[in-house]
Structure 1
C-alpha cells in the first residue's frame, strides 16, 4: 500500500493588477509588416518577414502563445523588393508565391522565386524554388499530392514542366511539354475547376502580345492537354470549362462545354462568341455575339437563345429575379429585361445613369432588386432608387432634393436599407447622411457635418465620426463620435473632442489614421497631446469608449493601423521604439489566476489535482516539457513530474500566466518477490520491510526472512523515501495438517463433487483457492458430512482451505 503525503501545501499567488495589451511579436524585421502581406487562414493570420537570417513565415491566432515562427523560407536576404502573393489551393490550405519585384531588368539579374503551401499552423511544404528566370508558375492540390507547373527556356526552346510533390516533399517529373511550335511566351499560369477536378490554365502569347493570347487547359496528373484540337478557351464556370472552335465546313462558331463524356457542343453562332464575366451569385452564364445571346447553366437542356435589343450591349449590372433578368449597360445608359424567352424594354421612360465615382450599390429585399442611380435635373446629379420585381423597373425613391456627394455612393446595410452621404442643394459645404429603406416613405436624416465618416455594424447600428472643425492635413481638425439605430438622428454619445493633429509638410507618412469595425466594437486610431496616436475602442456608449492602451508610452505615437479580427480576437499593427511595426492584441490581459495544489510531492502511481480559479471559458495548462492541455474544467489531475502553469481565457481575452507549481513524483521501490525455503519465507530487497499474514501486519517481522507458523497468505511491503510497494501474495500450505484431513476429503482427484467429513465441535469455514491465490468458493460447513459441488470449475490443481488447514486437490 502506497503512503501518501498528508501535509496540505497551499500555494497562493498575488494577482497582478495589469491591464496592458499583449505584444504578440518581437520581430526585428528589415521591412515593416506590410498591410498586403498578411493573409487569413484557418482562424489565423500568416505573413512573411525579411530579417537577418532571410525570409521567415509567421503565424498568429491572436494570442501570444499562438504567435510563432512557422519556418524559415529562405536563408538569403532579397537584394530587390519581394512580392508576396496568395492563391487558395484547397480548402484549408493556401499556396503562396514569394518572388522578386516587377522591374524586368532587375528581375533577370536577381531573379528568385519560391512557392510553398501551408495550413498556417503546423504544416509548410516547399514546392518549388529557383534562381533561374521562368515564365509563369503555379501549383494546385489533387488528393494529398501537389502539382506545380512552370515554363522555362532551354537553349531558346520554351518548355512547360509539370512536377508532382508528395506530402513527404519527394518530387516526380510528370511531363515536359515542348511549346517551341507555339512561338509564344507564357503570360500566366493559374488553375481552374473542370468536372470536379482541378486543371492548369496556361496563358501564352507571342512575345507577351496580350491581344493574341490563347490558353492551354492541362490535366496536371498526366500532363494531357484538354483543348489539343485548337479549341479556344473561353471561361470556366461552376466547375465547367467552355471552349469555342470555328468549323470550316459549316462556317460556324461552335461553343463547347466539358463533361464526364468529353466536350459537348452547346450551340452554334455565325460570329465569334464572347461572354459576360459571371457574378459571384449567378447560376447561369451569358454568351453573346453581335446581336444574339445564349443564357446557359452549362447543359444543353437549359441553354436559352434570345436576341438582344441593342447590339454590343454590355450589362455591367444585371440581376435575376423570379426567373427574369434585368440587364443595364451603365456606360451607354441602355437596359433591357429578359422575360419568358424574349427581350423587352422597361416601362420607365427615364434611363438612370452613373459615373465611375458612383458605382451603384444594390440589394434584394422581399424578392425585389433595389439599386441606386442618378438622374440629371437642372444639370445636377440627383439621387434615385430603382426597383426591379422580375417584370418591370420602377422608381422606388425619388431623392431629387439632393445632389450626389462625389465619390462614395451608398452603404448597404444588412437589413436591406441604404445609407447615402449627400450634399443638399440649398446647403453650404456641409454633408448630410440619410438612411432609406423600402419600408420607409421618406428617408431619415441621420447626421450633418463638414465631413462624415460612417462605420456600419451588422446589428444595423452605425457609429459616425463627424468633423467638428474644418481644416486640411496641415491644420488640426476636430471630430466627435455619434451613434444611430437608423430610426432617428444620430446622437452624441462621447463628449471628448478628438483631434486630428496637423502634419508637418513632407512628413505626411508619419500619421496612419485607421479604423475598423471588429465584432460589436469600433477600433480606431485617435490622437491626444499626452499619448499621440494610440488605439481606441467604442461600442457606441460613453462608458464603452476609451483608449485601449498607450502602446508607445508618452506623447510619441504608436500609429496603430491594420485593425482586423483573428479567431475572434481584435489585433492591430503598431510601432514600438525598438523594433518598429509589431502585432498587438487589443483585448486587455486578464489578471493571473491562482493555482492551488494540496501537495507538491507524491509517489508514482498517485494523482495530484491542480485547481485554478473558477469562472473562465477555458484553461490552458502549460507543462515545462512544452506540452499543453486545454480544458474547460478548472481542475487537472496529473501523474507526471514537472512545473505547471495555467493561462485562463474569457470572451477571447487571455490572462497572464499563473504562479508556477513544481510537482515531483517519487519513484517506487522495486517490487519484492517472496521465496519459500523449508519453513522460511525469504525476500531480497532494500529499504524498510514489513511482513503481513492474511492482510494483518506481523509484529516485529521487519527483516528479509520470516519463519512461518501457519498456512495462509503472506506478503511483504518495502518502503523507500516514504513510498511503498507490496509483493504478490504467497499461499503457504502445511503438510502435517494435510495428513490429518487426508481420509476425510474424497475423492481426490474429483470431478463433479467432493465429500468433506468433519468432527469439529464448531462450524468449519471452507475456501476453494487457485494456485495463484484467487478465492473461487467460500462456504461454511456445519454437518458431519458435506457435499461440495464442483461443476463449473476448470480442471486443474486447487488449494482447499478448512479454517487454517490446507489441502491440495485436483479437479479433472
Structure 2
C-alpha cells in the first residue's frame, strides 16, 4: 500500500537531493517520493514483535522477533522476501529454535546462536529451509547448559566466536561450519576461568580482539587462525590493569583504537601489527585521559570525539602526534558528541551544547564549516537525533521534535531538506522509540517501527523518482550565464538567502559566502575550467563552466 510522505504542500521541493557520478565531481539533481509498507503484523493487535538483527543472506532477510506461539511469547528466527506472504518463521527438522541472536552472513549461510529444549544455547546455521536449519556443534554437551556462543565474526573463510564448553571457560573458538571443523582455537586464560574474547576486528590478514589472560587484564590480542599464532600483542594497561580496548578502526594501513594505561589514561593508540609498532598517538588530556570514541575516517583524516576538561571536542589525526589536532573550536561548551556519520561530502554527528540540547550538526573539517543542520526541537533538551543511516542518497535518523515522541526523519544535508516523514496511517506515539535496526534489502530500507495500532513491527520504505512533471513543478534556483566570464547570477526564486560554495574538480573550496534571493558571484579572478556550485538552501549542486 502507498502513503503520502508528509501533509505539506512543499514536500517535493524539500526532498531534492544530489547524486554523485563516478568522477566524484559532476552532480545532477534528483527528486524522490516514498512508499511505506507494513511488511507483516507478526503479533496481531497491539502486541510488539520488536524485529531486530536484520541480516541479508542471498534472496532473504533474516531477523529475530518476539512471537506468541499460542502458549508463550518467545524470541524466534524469521525470514522475509519483502512481502507479507513471504515473511515466515524459520523452523528446523531438528527441534524448535528459540532465543536466536548474533546473526551473521558467512559463505552464503546464516550463522547464529540459538537454543532448543535440550541442549541450551549452541551455534546454528541456516539456509532458510526446514532441513537446512541445524545446530552444527554441541560445544557444551551438558544437558540444558549450552555453550552460549557470542560475537560471531566471519574472517578468512572461517567463523570466530567466544563459547564455553563447561571445562575451560568462555574462550576463543573457530569453525568452518561443520561439527568436525569446529574447535577450541586457544585456551587463553588457562583453567576454568574465562578470557572472554570480544571486539573482533579483521586487519591486514589477521584478526584482532580484546581478551583477558588473567595476568595482563583485558588487552589487545591477535590471531592468524592457529593456536600458536594467537598472541597478546601488547600489555598496554601495565600489569593486571585493563587496557580498555575499543573503537578499533583501520586508517591509512594501520589500526587505531582507544586504550588506557596508567601514565596517560585513556587515549588514542595505533598499531602496525607489531608490539614495537603499537604506540600512543598523542596524550590529548594528560593524566586524566581524553577517552577517544566514534573513530571515523573522513576526508583523508581520522576523526574522533575526545574529552578535554569537562567538554567534548571533535578531533582529527593524520596518524602523527603533531598531526593530531582539534577539528572544531566550538563557540559554546559542548557537553557531548556522538554518532559520527559521513554523508554527501560532510561529517554528520549528534551534538549537545549548553543552550540547545542534542541536535544534528555537520562539518567539512573546519570550525567555520561546522554548523547545526537544523534546530529540530527548540529549547534546552533538543531532539536527541540518533541511528544515522544513509540510504539511496539521503540521510535517515530518528529524533524527537516534541510533538509525538521519537519519529523518522530524513535529510538531504540542508535545513529546508531536513523533514519528518511517516505514512498516513501513523497514529502511534513515539513510533521509533527503540533502535530501528535500519537495513537495506532488495532496494528498500527495512526497519522496526510502531506507526499504527499494530505495535512495533517490521516496516519497509521504498524510494521512487518523481515524474518529469513533478520535477518541473519543484521550484529550483536559476543560475546564469553558464558558461560565465565575470559574474555569475544566482536567482533563488522565493528563498530569501542561502549559503553558496564553489569547488574546483579536486574538491578544493574556492568561494564560500551567503547571498540574498538574487545575488552575484564574482568569478573573474578564477582560472578557466569546470567548477561545482553548491546551493545549501535548495540542496542543489550545479556544474559551472568558467571561460
Task: Indicate the structure (1 or 2) with the bigger Cα radius of gyration.
Answer: 1
> When the two structures are superposed, what TM-score results if normalisation uses the length of structure 1?
0.36
Give the structure, 1 or 2, with the largest relative contact order (CA under 8 Å, sep 6 or more).
2
> When the two structures are superposed, what TM-score results if normalisation uses the length of structure 2?
0.50
